[in-house]
């Protein structure tokens, strides 16, 4: 009888971008709790340090690195610091992202450029640099490379006022699939998680407003998701249990897109 899969990440080195808030912060906690050595990456050093202390106090291992995901030199430096502390990063969670919300006719070119830079170029640089190092470290023999990209329900569903954001998230889904094909024979799996709407500090005010309440009422289950709803998908895609899964976009949206 085959044993049930276990999401044990002991021995893994995981880098999480956008780890200073929201689901990125949650990802850092969950990966550490599962046994991974975690590299917490973001621009906000104060929040990262508080999370690092929390993880260490709970018995985990973590470091913080300053990372501007749109900048190649910053990305390389972050991986250098990760390797110096823990060795080669074999688990990458490309989570950093941003949103420029509003009527398409009112979005500025500056907002467009920044959103595309963070959501598309940032994922590209994070995944590419990590893959280079995995390949050099022998991922083809180890078959343990894992790249997980945070996309969005908006990559597939039509969400008014999110033209640029939706375009970038659809872009990272397709980009992730191509990366999966590029590295499929080199022991690196690339997958995407497409979350629905989750209450975070960034959107609290909106979902407490009349417009936000109406939006929630339109969802089939008339509720928002919790950050913890993504835990199983993340652990599965980062663990050996997902050895046969690559190039897949996993929708975790509580049916909000139905």
Q: Is the pLDDT score of 198 beyond 80?
A: yes
Q: Is the pLDDT score of 5 beyond 70?
A: no
Residue 160: phi and psi, rounded to 5, are -55, 140
Least trusted range by pLDDT, from 27-36, 58-67, 158-167, 222-231:
158-167
Q: Is the pLDDT score of 36 beyond 50?
A: yes
Do 83 and 89 touch, CB atoms closer than 8 A? yes
Q: Is the pLDDT score of 103 beyond 90?
A: no
Specify the 3-state DSSP secondary structure of 132: helix
Kindly name the residue from 27, 79, 165, 197 that is annotated as catalytic: 165
At 1 the pLDDT is: 45
Q: Is the pLDDT score of 188 beyond 80?
A: yes
Write the pLDDT tens digit of every residue in 168-181.
999 999 999 999 99
Active site residue 197: no
Tracing tokens 């936000």 back to the chain, one arrives at 212
Higher pLDDT, 19 or 47: 19
Q: Is the pLDDT score of 3 beyond 70?
A: no
pLDDT classification of 53: cutoffs 50, 70, 90: very high
The rounded percent of the chain whose pLDDT value lies above 90 is 88
pLDDT mean over 50-56: 97
pLDDT classification of 4: cutoffs 50, 70, 90: low
**Of 17, 55, 21, residue with least CA distance to 36:** 55
Residues whose CB falls within 8 Å of the CB of residue 207, separated by 6 or more in sequence, listed in order: 197, 199, 213, 215, 216, 224
Domains of the chain are 13-199+230-249 (3.40.50.720)
């Amino acid at each position: 009888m085959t044993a049930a899969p276990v999401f044990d990440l002991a021995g893994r080195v995981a880098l999480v971008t956008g780890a200073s808030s929201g689901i990125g912060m949650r990802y850092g906690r969950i990966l550490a709790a599962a046994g991974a050595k975690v590299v917490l990456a973001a621009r906000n050093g104060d929040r990262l340090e508080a999370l690092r202390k929390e993880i260490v106090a709970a018995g985990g291992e973590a470091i913080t690195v300053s990372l501007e995901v749109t900048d190649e030199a910053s990305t390389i430096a972050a991986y250098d610091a990760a390797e110096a502390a823990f060795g080669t990063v074999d688990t990458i969670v490309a989570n950093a992202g941003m949103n420029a919300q509003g009527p398409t006719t009112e979005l500025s070119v500056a907002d467009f450029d920044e959103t595309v830079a963070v959501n598309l170029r940032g994922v590209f640089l994070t995944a590419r640099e990590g893959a280079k190092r995995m390949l050099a470290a022998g991922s083809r023999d180890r078959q343990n490379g894992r790249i997980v990209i945070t996309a969005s329900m908006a990559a597939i569903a039509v969400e008014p006022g999110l033209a640029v954001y939706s375009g970038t998230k659809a872009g990272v889904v397709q980009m992730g699939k191509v990366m999966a094909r590029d590295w499929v024979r080199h022991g690196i799996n690339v997958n995407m998680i497409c979350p629905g709407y989750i209450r975070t500090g960034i959107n609290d005010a909106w979902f407490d407003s009349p417009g936000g309440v109406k939006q929630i009422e339109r969802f089939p289950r008339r509720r928002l998701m919790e950050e913890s709803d993504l835990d199983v998908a993340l652990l599965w895609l980062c663990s050996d249990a997902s050895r046969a899964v690559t190039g897949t976009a996993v929708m975790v949206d509580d049916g909000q897109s139905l």
